[in-house]
Amino acid sequence: MEIISYCIENENDYAAAVERFGVSYQQIYSWVRKYNEKGIEGLVDKRGKRKSESEMTEAEKLRTENRILEARNRRLKTENALLKNSRNSKGGGTERSKTRISLHLCSENARRWVCNNRDL
């Protein structure tokens, strides 16, 4: 906040703030812009934090639901391919069995992702 105050008090002299505080021009500019747009709340670090459903816009809710459905669709396609391969396979250590194992692992990863992201 000290850097932002200094910059604003000196008529947005970013170069002086860079020299005084040793922070990059882009960073100071970004902080001042966020402060001017949203006040102190604009400076809160929100990286890696998900919005609750009540904070999401309708478009964000739809995008989230779409991502979950796409992951589910990929998982089901993988499972279908796995089932087809297992029906057509006559056993043995062929390339086909390696494919089945890979498909199974992909399916498990997709299933875990969907289960862990249901609340998005």
Instruction: Tell me the one-letter amino acid at 52.
Output: S
Instruction: Considering only residues 90 and 44, tell me which one the structure prediction assigns the higher pLDDT.
Output: 44
Phi first, then psi: give them for residue 30, nearest 5 degrees. Answer: -60, -45
Give per-residue pLDDT as tens, 13-68. 889 989 999 999 999 999 899 888 888 888 887 777 677 778 888 888 888 888 88
Band the pLDDT of 111: cuts 50, 70, 90: low
